[in-house]
A and B are shown apart, each in its own frame.
Chain A
Amino acid sequence: MDHKWTSLHIAVIIPAYNEAGNIAALVQEVNQVIPGAKIVVIDDGSSDNTGQIARSAGAIVLTPPFNIGIGGAVQTGLKLAVIEGDDIVIRLDGDGQHPPFEIPSLLEAVASGEADVAIGSRFCSRGEAPPISFARRIGIFFFSQLTSLLAGQKVTDPTSGFYVMDKKAAAFLSHNLSQDYPEVDARVLLSRAGFRVKEYATKMRPRVHGVSSITVWRAFYYVLKVSLSVIVARSRTISPE
């Protein structure tokens, strides 16, 4: 698309658990938006043929021997990007909710040095209602208040996993990402480590195939666990790298 990115080594990390219905289209879309980028799908113990489909769609597929959780999966991709010395790491959800056509604006922010980490947010500006339920909105409001407080900067969409980050941030997260609730924690950890994190308004899509990994019944438990996790993220020891 834009020739200024061709000099950069870009890795796109996509954690996927049972996303056979979504993954091929997502990989192709990413390939169209940023041709030449290395697309890494982490097939995190799927029982369907997610990995096989991703591989035939042209992605590099990493296959942990069993499910290690979304944080562990993302971390695996980050480790590969760090080993291979990629300049920019993009992280998308495997369900296709982060539309690849929004990547260029986030990428531009990081490539130009405006931010170390650019995160797609459903809630900053634009004003149109994202396709999420009322209960989820309350949860996200609560987390955004808590995370803003702990990160010391305004966070509108703490659960967003739509990240574009530079080399240093990728290396930092490859050491410090938590296994269970990586997105919310990462905001606090990144700001503690002094990275410039900025949110940019992006559209998000509802998933096309399959079911979300968060069910309504687990929501309350989820809120408690994430709250504890993010409060701990404020004080837990972080590796300086």
Chain B
Amino acid sequence: MMSISYRIVIIISSIFLIITVWSLIKRGLFRPAYALLWFFGSFAILLLALFPEFIPFVARLFGVDYPPSVAFAFGIFILIILLLNQTIYLSTFARLNKELAQNYALLQYRLERLEGVVAREQGENFPDASQISGPGEIQTLPTGSKTGQGDPDVGPGDINLPLTQT
């Protein structure tokens, strides 16, 4: 039915595909969870090339007049599944991306407000403190509190807690 050379070409291509998928996973370019479908697909092609009687058998089973169309249908089926999967991932990432952007905007606003509070506190208290205390403190205080790290009232938990709800 299928010529030997054609079978060899398909076997080699499918093995090549499996190796490619495997090396992509190994190099961290493919997440194993996403690669599972590709493995199924490429192993299925390999099996069909190793056991070519399967396609005419299915064609007889479903009364298909032209057996090669079963092979095409099979290929298209795998592609549809893969594409559906891609769309699911794409939609998920779009949603996560949106949520990330929203939380970024909210955190940025809260940071700006916090910086305003810190700056105001600095303006009211620190100049006085600097006049009272020695010169050593004058230089460390403004740089330390400008970044907001020096303020003991501001824990990272305060900023993050409400945002993690959604």
Of the residues A66, A68, A76, A179, contact of B106 by C-beta under 8 Å: A76
Structural contact, B101 and A65, CB atoms closer than 8 A: yes
Are B98 and A83 closer than 8 Å at their CB atoms? no
A83-B163, A175-B166 as given contacts; A65 in contact with B102, CB under 8 Å:
no
Q: Are B105 and A76 in contact (CB under 8 A)?
A: yes
In the assembled complex, the Cα of A92 lies from the Cα of B82 at a distance in Å of 42
- Please determine whether B102 and A64 come into contact, CB atoms closer than 8 angstroms: yes
Please tell me if the beta carbons of A68 and B98 are within 8 angstroms of each other in the complex.
Answer: yes
- On whether the beta carbons of A80 and B98 are closer than 8 Å, the reply is no
CB of A60 closer than 8 Å to a CB of B: yes
Minimum distance in angstroms from A7 CB to a CB of chain B: 23
Q: Taking the nearest CB of chain B, how far is it from the CB of A77, in angstroms?
A: 9
Contact B105 A62 (CB under 8 A): yes
Against A, the Cβ 8 Å flags (1 = close, 0 = not) of B139-159 are 000000000000000000000
CB-CB under 8 A for A76 and B108, given A83-B163, A174-B166 = no
Does B106 lie within 8 Å of A62, measured CB to CB? yes
Distance in angstroms between the alpha carbons of A79 and B107 in the assembled complex: 11
**How many A-B contacts at CB < 8 Å in the complex?**
43
In this assembly, does B109 line the interface, its C-beta being within 8 Å of a C-beta of chain A?
yes
Which residue of chain B is the closest to A174 with respect to CB atoms? B166
Binary contact readout A47-82 vs B (1 if CB under 8 angstroms, 0 otherwise): 000000000000011111110110010011001100
Complex Cα distance, B108 from A142, in Å, reads 41
A62→B101 CA distance, assembly (Å): 10
Note all chain B residues with C-beta closer than 8 A to A42: 105
Cβ of A79: which chain B residues have Cβ within 8 Å of it?
102, 106, 163, 166
The reply to whether A72 and B101 form a contact with Cβ atoms under 8 Å apart is yes
Q: Is the CB of B101 within 8 A of A80?
A: no
A80 touches B109 (CB 8 A): yes
Chain A positions 73-102 with a Cβ under 8 Å from a chain B Cβ: 75-76, 79-80, 83
- Expressed in whole angstroms, the minimum distance between the Cβ of B67 and any Cβ of chain A is 39
Q: Are B102 and A75 in contact, CB atoms less than 8 angstroms apart?
A: yes
Task: Flag if A65 contacts B106 (CB, 8 Å).
Answer: no
11 pairs, A vs B, C-beta closer than 8 Å: A60-B109, A63-B108, A64-B105, A65-B105, A66-B101, A72-B102, A76-B101, A80-B106, A83-B162, A83-B163, A174-B166
For the complex of A and B, 3 pairs with smallest distance between CB atoms? A64-B101, A62-B105, A76-B102
A interface residue numbers (CB < 8 A to B)? 42, 60-66, 68-69, 72, 75-76, 79-80, 83, 174-175, 179
19 further interface pairs, Cβ-Cβ under 8 Å (given A65-B105, A179-B94): A42-B105, A60-B109, A61-B109, A62-B106, A62-B109, A64-B101, A64-B105, A65-B101, A65-B104, A68-B102, A75-B102, A76-B101, A76-B105, A79-B102, A79-B166, A80-B109, A83-B163, A179-B95, A179-B98
